[in-house]
Structure 1
Amino acid sequence: MARTKTSLGAGARLSDFLSASLLARVFPADLVNRVLDAHGCNSQRIRSFPAVAGVYYCMALNLYPEAAYEEVFAVVAQGLAWAEGKPSSTTVHKSSVSELRRKIGATPLRDLMHRACLPLARPQAHPDAFFAGCRVVAIDGSNFDIPDEVDNVAQFGYPGSRTGQAGYPQAQCAVLVECATHAILDANIGPYRAPEWELCLPLLASLKPGMLCLADRGFRGHAQWCAARASGADLLWRCASNQILPVLQPLADGSWLSALYPNDRARRRGVDGVPVRIIEYTLPQHSGSTASYRLMTSLLDPESAPALSLAALYHERWQVESVFDELKTHLLRQRRVFRSKTPELVRQEFYGWVLAHYAVRWLMHQAASEYRQSHHALSFTAHVQLVRRTQPQSGAFPPSAA
């Protein structure tokens, strides 16, 4: 398609002409500029590779995991070349890319995630995303390989293996996910051996009243429960079968009201207990055995939240595992190890990874909403491929067409 040379208005940024790309539709250039300004790392003059394009570049790295830095830049630079009226993209050396990445760091991308990665489902259009009027979300953790560099090892550490040490150091992450849409609403990264709750604790800031948070057995203590409930969200967490939760009041649906105490002494004295409701059930397994589940919830009314419905709902927590599969298998593909050789750039790459995933899920949400389909009926891989095909044409249309 022929492109008409367009003059720039006074003070226009070259990167503003990326606005028709998917990434800039989800994360508008003016928002990216405000985030960069807030952290004092925006470009002070027009450059061939300004900082705002560097942020898009950090996301695009995760859309093209097997491509070299310069090749990924060539995709992002299509919009820059068009903005300058040039027939071909500007060439930027790998050292310039690395220098800009170091200048930006990880914090602006994390801030952008907090500002832009918002829940997607709407009650009228996506009733499967809600239960008893609450948006269903889940929290969980995972780990991934990072380059075997001295600083990365010092910051993140190695996992153990049968031979004593794994081949690569690993980072651990935690995510908060909207179950129906797989949209990542918040994420955190830390050392491999960091306690999982320590990584999840910052995510509680993104829990809101009107949410119902699902979690596995790692989060069952009194302090953890109270910290999560302080967000205003309701909780449905699995707890250990040997955790002492006395039957204070049996309910007609087979569940019972109980209390969660900070320690045994408080339980014996009956003080400082938090009211909870307990649901127990078993599921058959393929081997003929059964798996026992015990759930603890803040939804105390069996009329509005029947035990059977909550038992069925809890297994939506596995949508988080699907999100990790999308991140690791479909975005990273054959490149199972991050690229970045320093801890700060590992963190930056991680948040770029999360932002790229959100952009793909945003696109899928638009399709699901327009054609009234379930999000689960759409292919994440197909939409990743669509983004990869269309991203190079990001500069083919003026910003007003976005």
Structure 2
Amino acid sequence: MFAPGHLGELTQLVPFEMVDEVLAEAGGRERRLRELPSRVVVYLLLAAGLFAELGYRQVWARLTSGLAEPGPVPSSSALAQARRRVGVAPVKALFELLAGPPAGATRWRSLLVCALDGTTMSVPDSPANLARYGHQSGSHGGSGYPLVRVLAVVACGTRTLLAVRFGPFKSGECTYAPQVFGCLRSGMVLLGDRMFAVRALVTAIAETGADLLIRCKNNRSLPRLDTLADGSFISILGGVTVRVIDAEITVTLSGTSRRTGRYRLITTLTDHRRYPALELLTLYHHRWEIETTYLELKSTVLGGRVLRARTPQGVDQEIYALLTAYQALRLAMAEATVAQTALQADRASFTIALHTARDQIIHAAGIIADSVIDLIGKIGRAVLADPLPPRRVRVSPRIVKRAISKHRAKGQADRTNHRAAIAIDVLTEPESTTAQAP
């Protein structure tokens, strides 16, 4: 009966003992012997996170296809009852056990580089989901499906999840942000966009001991307390001493057209000799790695699909299972790139890792480690055998990539990813215009 409960090779990262422990602590363990033990149900939920296009009975078929004796096939209602019996708490606890940076995670000047940002996920438009989560309204007709707002802190490079919070769409990202700051500590630098450049959040981040590098509005009124040799200056925001870096960034597209924009960054890394302004401006570009993380979750794994669950409890359970499966896969990829020091973590193909992990589940392979421990495994070897090419410098316009209507809107929209050359100039002179109030 326990044989169908596995995650292929990823079971070594989410072992039976770990699942049994979270079930015992969360009270999700069965009180009598069942054909669907709680441990098996947890692995079913995790596997469903990797087979997002399939219903739970089809996921079950893949869990058992590689077994010599697959046993009886449970009905849809039996699987639904088993998922309700397990509940949310064990899956949430499992994710929290796995959350965090892997050994050998990418660092910049001894600091672990992390990024903070939010996204949304669509859920079925059942009355319960609509009442709980709500949907986005607007002149284009709204989102159509209820939306869950998700906020995460991601380790750049390995793109592993450090902390995640999610809930109703009506609550903004700044509302959820303090709930993920518990993962921050000294030795980290947090990258964030302009939304998070508010006094309360800057103060809360600084109190954790972590450093920050956040973009703010160019006309943000910040007092110039001291001008440093590289042109940046010391200021104060929310009682926190910050360094302000102004820069002009010129992007040349395909050697012809040019675009120039202004950036203003605030950071608690105030030592301009140890942390040069130009390097900080270049480092800030890595904030986009959290956007890639959301792309992997929502496009590569989910394929743009709506989640399955029609109740808020089911949505919570499904999201935590999805995040746990993603984290386990990312940890397996990180182990491979750490072992191969010549390969940077961001050149590991998530798509290759995902399909290899699916194959291991279907074949029920690699569940228990052999006597000779394989630190890389088939997932790692597949990633190392076909790495992504070095990332090219490209820019892409910030527009809707998937239009609400299939009919062409008025005017032309440039959706081309352009090859580009980027030049960064740190501005050393204060603005001549009077800054506006924040």
Residue correspondence of structure 1 range 1-400 to structure 2 within 5 A: 14=2, 21-77=8-64, 87-122=69-104, 129-261=106-238, 273-285=239-251, 286=253, 288-333=258-303, 336-372=305-341, 373-394=343-364, 398=368
Tell whether the 8 Å contact from 1:18 to 1:399 is kept in structure 2 after alignment: no
Name the counterpart of 1:270: none
Task: Give 1:60 deviation, angstroms.
Answer: 1.1
Q: What letter matches 2:287 in structure 1?
A: R
Tell whether the 8 Å contact from 1:77 to 1:90 is kept in structure 2 after alignment: no
Tell whether the 8 Å contact from 1:53 to 1:76 is kept in structure 2 after alignment: no
Task: Give 1:139 deviation, angstroms.
Answer: 0.8
CA distance in 2, matches of 1:340, 1:90: 24
Q: Unaligned stretches of 5+ in structure 1?
A: 1-12, 262-272
Task: Flag the 1:397–1:138 CA change in 2: closer, same or farther, 3 A.
Answer: closer
CA distance in 2, matches of 1:189, 1:396: 33
Task: Give 1:397 deviation, angstroms.
Answer: 5.8
Deviations 1:118-145 (A, max 9, x none): 21142xxx5xx11221111111000121
Other structure's SS at 1:109 match: helix
Deviations 1:285-339 (A, max 9, x none): 4452312111111111111111111110011000000001100111012x51101
CA distance in 1, matches of 2:365, 2:74: 18
Tell whether the 8 Å contact from 2:10 to 2:367 is kept in structure 1 after alignment: no
CA distance in 2, matches of 1:396, 1:141: 35
Q: How many residues align?
A: 367
CA distance in 2, matches of 1:318, 1:110: 26
Task: Give 1:14 deviation, angstroms.
Answer: 2.4
State the identity %.
32
Name the counterpart of 2:409: none
Task: Give 1:225 deviation, angstroms.
Answer: 0.9
CA distance in 2, matches of 1:323, 1:293: 24
CA distance in 2, matches of 1:46, 1:395: 26
Name the counterpart of 1:6: none
Tell whether the 8 Å contact from 2:5 to 2:39 is kept in structure 1 after alignment: no
CA distance in 2, matches of 1:301, 1:41: 51
Deviations 1:341-372 (A, max 9, x none): 00111111111111111122122112212222
Tell whether the 8 Å contact from 1:113 to 1:186 is kept in structure 2 after alignment: no
Tell whether the 8 Å contact from 2:7 to 2:361 is kept in structure 1 after alignment: no
Other structure's SS at 1:252 match: coil
Task: Give 1:235 deviation, angstroms.
Answer: 0.9
Task: Give 1:375 deviation, angstroms.
Answer: 1.5
Task: Give 1:19 deviation, angstroms.
Answer: 6.3
Q: What letter matches 1:14 in structure 2?
A: F
Other structure's SS at 2:330 match: helix
Name the counterpart of 1:267: none
Task: Give 1:153 deviation, angstroms.
Answer: 0.6
Tell whether the 8 Å contact from 1:136 to 1:213 is kept in structure 2 after alignment: yes
CA distance in 2, matches of 1:56, 1:355: 11
Task: Give 1:91 deviation, angstroms.
Answer: 0.9
Tell whether the 8 Å contact from 2:232 to 2:243 is kept in structure 1 after alignment: yes
Other structure's SS at 2:52 match: coil
Q: Which has more helix, going by share of residues?
A: 1
Other structure's SS at 1:288 match: strand
Other structure's SS at 2:80 match: helix
Name the counterpart of 1:9: none
Task: Flag the 1:51–1:114 CA change in 2: closer, same or farther, 3 A.
Answer: same
Other structure's SS at 2:332 match: helix
Q: Unaligned stretches of 5+ in structure 2?
A: 374-438
Task: Give 1:151 deviation, angstroms.
Answer: 0.8
CA distance in 2, matches of 1:253, 1:18: 58
Q: What letter matches 1:353 in structure 2?
A: L
Task: Give 1:399 deviation, angstroms.
Answer: 6.0
CA distance in 2, matches of 1:20, 1:177: 23
Name the counterpart of 2:377: none
Task: Flag the 1:46–1:209 CA change in 2: closer, same or farther, 3 A.
Answer: farther
Runs of 4+ in 1 over 4 A off after TM superposition: 17-20, 395-402
CA distance in 2, matches of 1:398, 1:297: 46
Tell whether the 8 Å contact from 2:44 to 2:59 is kept in structure 1 after alignment: yes
Q: What letter matches 1:131 in structure 2?
A: W
Q: What letter matches 1:279 in structure 2?
A: I
Other structure's SS at 2:291 match: helix
CA RMSD of aligned residues (A): 2.1
TM value normalised by structure 1: 0.86
Task: Give 1:251 deviation, angstroms.
Answer: 0.6
CA distance in 2, matches of 1:361, 1:325: 14
Tell whether the 8 Å contact from 2:7 to 2:47 is kept in structure 1 after alignment: no
CA distance in 1, matches of 2:278, 2:237: 22
Tell whether the 8 Å contact from 2:148 to 2:167 is kept in structure 1 after alignment: yes
Task: Give 1:210 deviation, angstroms.
Answer: 1.1
